[in-house]
């Protein structure tokens, strides 16, 4: 009986050696992605960026988008994140809370918590640095 089992195992395409070799193959790491949110206190304009390889690139894009709506020099970065999600929550009168977390739901919860000191809030926008 032992001999029959051994002969069957000999013909399986995935042997222990093959599985060990596959486990030792290098895993290609995904590059970091960055996101950012810019905001204008004067006009309440916002700018967003995601999918960038660096913090600086994400911040520059968010500022550019915000300033295209508000004016040059009028916006500031209020949030940046890497390999994570960012969220904005706002009140009816335009007060806002921003936050990031490893998940969309976590980012939304944190943004709502940051916003609640200003009144009743709703999530206005959520996105992740790795969104396409």
Backbone angles phi, psi at 80, to 5 degrees: -135, 155
How confident is the model over 76-91, as pLDDT tens digits? 999 999 999 999 999 9
Is 118:112 a contact under the CB 8 Å cutoff? no
Backbone angles phi, psi at 48, to 5 degrees: -130, 150
Tell me the whole-structure pTM to 2 decimals: 0.75
Tell me the per-residue pLDDT of 25-59, one tens digit each, with 9 for 90 and over. Answer: 555 578 999 999 999 989 999 999 999 999 999 99
d(CA 132, CA 58): 14
Domain ranges of the chain: 34-128
CA separation for the pair 9, 2 (Å, rounded):
11
Contact 37, 62 (CB under 8 A): yes
**pLDDT recorded at residue 12:** 42
Predicted confidence (pLDDT) at residue 98 exceeds the cutoff of 60: yes
């Amino acid at each position: 009986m032992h001999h029959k089992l051994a002969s069957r195992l000999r013909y399986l395409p995935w042997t222990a050696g093959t599985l060990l070799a596959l486990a030792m193959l290098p895993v290609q790491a995904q590059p970091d992605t960055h996101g950012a949110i810019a905001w204008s206190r004067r006009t309440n304009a916002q700018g967003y960026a995601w999918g960038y390889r660096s913090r600086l690139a994400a911040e520059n894009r968010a500022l550019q988008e915000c300033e295209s709506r508000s004016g040059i020099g009028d916006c500031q970065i209020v949030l940046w994140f890497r390999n994570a999600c960012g969220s904005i929550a706002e009140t009816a009168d335009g007060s806002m809370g921003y936050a990031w977390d490893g998940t969309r739901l976590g980012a939304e919860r944190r943004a709502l918590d940051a916003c609640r000191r200003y009144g009743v809030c709703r999530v206005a926008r959520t996105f992740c640095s790795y969104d396409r």
